[in-house]
C-alpha cells in the first residue's frame, strides 16, 4: 500500500532538513527519510556553520536556539612541514557581535536538532529508512521505494539530499560515473579536552572559538587539514583528494596519526582523549563536478548536487547546502500550488540557485579547482616558506645574506623560476 505526501525528501542532512522545515511550515505534507538511526549519525564536518540569509529567515536568533559549540573568534592559516610551521592569524571585533559570522558545530547534534525542528513544524521523519529506487509515473518521478519495507512512498516531488554519492541522482539519470578527481576523503578525530584547558591553550574566553586551516600536513598528498575548537573537545581532520590518496597507497588513518605527532599540534593536543574517528567523502569538483539539478518530479540539493568548494582560504559546504534546500523548498511550493511538477516548472530551482551567492561564488572561484591540484602547493611551498624563515631567524654569528639570495638558496632543488611563475599565474587566476 502506498503512503502519499506532497514532497518526499531523501536525506536528513542540512539541505534536506532545511527543505523539510520550510515546506512543513507552509503546511505541506512532507516525508523526511534518513538512512541512519537518527539524523547526523553518519556525518563528518570540518568546522564552520556560516550565518546565511537562509538561516536568518528561518531562525532570526539562531545563536539563542541552535546547539552551537562556539562562535569563531580567530581564523588561522598555517603552512607546515614535518618539523616547522608558519601561521597567519586573523581576528576582529566584528566577529564578536551577534549575529556572529560563523560557528563551530557538532554535526550529529546540529543535524538532529534541525530535523527535529522540521518535525515540530509537521514533517514526518522516517529514520533507519533507505530509499532504494525511484518510482516513475506518466513520464515523471512520483515517489520512492524503501529498502526492507513493504509498500511505497508517493509524492508530487522528490528532493534528493542523499549525499555526495547520491544514488537518487544516479537513478534519475542526472549524473554519470563519479570521478575520483572530483572527490575528497575527509577523516576526523574528535578529542576530548576540558573547556578551561581549551580556553587557556588557544587564548579564548567564554564561547570564543578558533579555526585552523593546515597546509602541508598531508605529507605531500593533495589536501589539507583542519583543527577547530568545540565546547569541550577539539576536532582534528584531513581532507585529501581521492585520486592522490589512491596513487600514494597510504592509509588515511595513518596520515591522521602522523598529523597528531606534528610538534606544533602536539602542544595543542596534549592531554586530549580520543573520543571518535570518522570518515566521509566530500565533493571537490566545483562546477565541473555538479550533476544536473532537476528533472520531471525531482530536484537535487546539498552534497548530492556537488555544492562545495574551496578557494584556498575558505572551505564552503554546509551553508551552500542549507541555501540550496531553502531554494528547492520555495520552488516546490510554487510547483505544488500550480500543480505543475515538470522539469520546466522545477527549472526555477536552478535559476534561483544561479542567482544566489552559492553558484556565484562557485563561478567566481571555479579556477581554484585547478589551483588546488598543484602538487607543489602541498610540500614544496610550505617547505620553501618555513625554510626561508628559518634562515632569516637563525643566528650563527656569520654575516647574513640578503633576502633574494636566501630565497634562491632555499628554492634550489625545490622550485624552478619558471615553475614559480607558472604557479603564481595559476593562483592569480584562481583568486583575482
pLDDT in tens, 122-171: 999 999 999 999 999 989 999 999 987 767 899 999 999 999 999 999 99
pLDDT of residue 44: 61
Report the alpha-carbon distance of residue 25 to residue 117 in Å, rounded. Answer: 10
Give the pLDDT of residue 45: 52
pLDDT given for residue 431 in this prediction: 84
Q: Contact at 8 Å (CB) between 330 and 26?
A: no
**Ranges in the chain, pLDDT < 70:** 1, 44-47, 150
Q: What is the distance between the alpha carbons of residues 392 and 388, in angstroms, rounded to a whole number? A: 6
Q: How many CB atoms lie within 10 A of CB 71?
A: 22
Q: Give me the pLDDT at residue 158, please.
A: 98
Predicted local confidence at residue 387, as pLDDT: 93
Q: Say if residues 43 and 34 touch (Cβ distance below 8 Å).
A: no
Q: Output the pLDDT for position 140.
A: 95
CA 249 to chain centre: 25
Mean pLDDT, the chain, rounded, equals 92
Phi, psi (deg, nearest 5) at residue 175: -140, 155
CB 348 within 8 A of CB 354: no
Residue range 2-69+105-176+291-355 forms a domain whose CATH class is: alpha beta
Q: What is the CATH number of domain 181-283?
A: 3.30.9.90
Each domain of the chain, given as residue ranges in start order, spans 2-69+105-176+291-355, 181-283, 370-431
Amino acid at each position: 500500500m502506498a503512503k502519499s505526501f506532497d514532497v518526499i525528501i531523501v536525506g536528513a542532512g542540512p539541505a534536506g532538513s532545511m527543505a523539510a522545515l520550510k515546506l512543513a511550515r507552509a503546511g505541506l505534507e512532507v516525508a523526511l527519510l534518513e538512512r541512519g538511526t537518527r539524523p547526523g549519525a553518519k556525518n563528518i564536518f570540518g568546522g564552520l556553520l556560516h550565518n546565511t540569509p537562509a538561516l536568518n529567515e528561518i531562525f532570526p536568533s539562531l545563536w539563542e536556539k541552535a546547539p552551537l559549540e562556539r562562535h569563531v573568534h580567530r581564523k588561522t592559516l598555517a603552512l607546515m612541514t614535518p618539523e616547522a610551521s608558519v601561521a597567519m592569524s586573523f581576528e576582529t571585533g566584528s566577529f564578536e557581535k551577534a549575529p556572529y559570522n560563523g560557528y563551530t558545530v557538532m554535526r550529529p547534534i546540529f543535524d538532529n536538532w534541525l530535523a527535529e525542528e522540521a518535525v515540530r513544524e509537521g514533517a514526518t521523519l522516517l529514520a533507519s529508512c533507505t530509499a532504494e529506487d525511484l518510482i516513475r509515473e506518466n513520464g515523471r518521478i512520483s515517489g520512492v521505494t524503501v529498502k526492507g519495507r513493504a509498500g511505497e512512498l508517493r509524492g508530487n516531488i522528490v528532493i534528493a539530499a542523499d549525499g555526495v554519492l547520491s544514488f537518487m541522482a544516479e537513478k534519475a539519470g542526472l549524473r554519470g560515473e563519479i570521478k575520483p578527481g572530483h572527490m575528497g576523503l575527509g577523516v576526523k578525530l574528535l578529542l576530548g579536552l576540558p573547556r578551561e584547558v581549551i580556553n587557556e591553550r588557544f587564548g579564548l574566553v567564554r564561547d570564543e572559538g578558533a579555526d585552523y586551516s593546515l597546509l602541508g600536513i598531508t605529507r605531500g598528498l593533495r589536501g589539507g587539514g583542519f583543527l577547530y575548537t568545540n565546547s569541550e573537545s577539539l576536532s582534528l581532520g584531513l581532507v585529501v583528494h581521492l585520486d592522490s590518496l589512491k596513487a600514494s597507497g597510504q592509509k588515511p588513518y595513518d596520515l591522521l596519526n602522523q598529523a597528531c605527532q606534528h610538534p606544533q599540534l602536539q602542544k595543542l593536543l596534549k592531554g586530549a582523549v580520543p573520543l571518535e574517528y570518522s570518515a566521509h567523502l566530500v565533493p571537490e569538483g566545483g562546477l565541473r563536478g555538479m550533476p544536473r539539478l532537476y528533472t520531471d518530479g525531482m530536484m537535487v540539493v546539498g552534497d548530492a548536487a556537488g555544492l562545495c568548494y574551496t578557494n584556498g582560504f575558505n572551505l564552503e559546504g554546509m551553508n551552500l547546502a542549507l541555501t540550496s534546500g531553502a531554494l528547492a523548498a520555495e520552488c516546490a511550493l510554487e510547483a505544488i500550488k500550480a500543480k505543475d511538477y515538470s522539469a520546466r516548472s522545477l527549472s526555477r530551482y536552478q535559476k534561483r540557485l544561479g542567482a544566489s551567492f552559492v553558484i556565484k561564488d562557485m563561478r567566481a572561484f571555479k579556477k581554484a579547482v585547478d589551483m588546488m591540484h598543484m602538487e607543489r602547493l602541498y610540500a614544496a611551498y610550505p617547505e620553501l616558506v618555513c625554510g626561508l624563515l628559518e634562515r632569516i631567524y637563525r643566528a650563527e654569528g656569520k654575516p647574513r645574506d640578503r633576502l633574494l639570495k636566501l630565497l634562491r638558496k632555499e628554492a634550489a632543488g625545490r622550485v624552478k623560476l619558471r615553475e614559480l611563475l607558472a604557479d603564481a599565474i595559476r593562483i592569480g587566476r584562481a583568486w583575482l
